[in-house]
């Protein structure tokens, strides 16, 4: 079993839809959870960062962590064509430093 | 505040040549990470460095690859005797001392012909 599983998609939705992106993980030592957005031929851009279980909201984006189920989600409300990108979940073991373990990414396309 | 700066953005090397990729972290960041992204693959951790120290190189291939982060100047990822399989996007990232958020550069795309 891989450390982080993420459905690669592609996922296609109409403009204005609510998008749900998910990752599951196997290592209960992960304590920090991040979502990155990556446009084609660009570097990953940090969207959301959470530490504990629960929800965190930032504008149209909501990150949700359920440590008991080892399941994390990113919701995008009122999706826009500019949201079309690959979304990567990234997890980090506890401690102030250390590398990230990434999911493979979900490719999202928002159609106008 | 400038972000993580990588250069060159694109690099073409013939098989057997050396590739050098440079990374300047964000201002105030003392931790540097290198990741590799193969076509249709996720980002894979390679190495984590602080100034003059390699903290974790568990993702680095044992041969031909090396990394450094000197006291002065950018971090360097060096690939000797490149092969076609080294063709990939190489991303550098940085984080501040005591911080948990990691910020990425725009990447260096290596093509081996």
pLDDT digits (tens, 9 = 90+) for A15-35: 999 999 999 999 888 889 999
Contact B107 A88 (CB under 8 A): no
Residues of A within 8 A of B91 (CB-CB) are 43-44
Name the residue among A43, A49, A51 with its Cβ closest to that of B106: A43
pLDDT digits (tens, 9 = 90+) for A41-55: 999 999 999 987 889
Are B22 and B7 spatial neighbours (Cβ–Cβ below 8 Å)? Answer: yes
Residues A110 and A79 sit within 8 Å (Cβ to Cβ) = yes
**What pLDDT is stored for residue A95 in this prediction?**
60
Euclidean distance between CA atoms A8 and A105, whole angstroms: 6
B76 burial (CB, 10 Å; 0-12 / 13-18 / 19+) is: middle
């Amino acid at each position: 079993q891989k450390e982080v599983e993420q459905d690669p998609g592609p996922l296609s939705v109409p403009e204005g839809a609510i998008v749900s992106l998910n990752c599951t993980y196997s290592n209960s030592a992960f304590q920090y959870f991040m979502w990155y957005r990556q446009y084609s031929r660009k570097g990953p851009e940090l969207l959301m960062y959470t530490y504990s279980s629960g929800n965190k909201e930032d504008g149209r984006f909501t990150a949700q962590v359920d440590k008991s189920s080892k399941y994390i989600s990113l919701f995008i409300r009122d999706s826009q064509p500019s949201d079309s990108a690959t979304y990567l979940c990234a997890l980090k073991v506890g401690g102030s430093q250390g590398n990230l373990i990434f999911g493979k990414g979900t490719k999202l396309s928002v159609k106008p | 505040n400038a972000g993580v700066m990588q250069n060159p953005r694109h690099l073409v090397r013939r098989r057997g040549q050396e590739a050098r990729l440079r990374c300047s972290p964000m201002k105030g960041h003392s931790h540097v990470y290198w990741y590799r992204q193969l076509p249709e693959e996720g980002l894979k951790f390679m190495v984590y460095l602080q100034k003059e120290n390699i903290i974790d190189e568990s993702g680095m291939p044992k041969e031909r690859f090396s990394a450094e982060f000197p006291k002065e100047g950018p971090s360097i990822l060096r690939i000797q005797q490149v092969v076609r399989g080294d063709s990939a996007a190489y991303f550098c990232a940085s984080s501040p001392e005591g911080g948990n958020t990691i910020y990425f550069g725009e990447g260096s795309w290596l093509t081996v012909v």
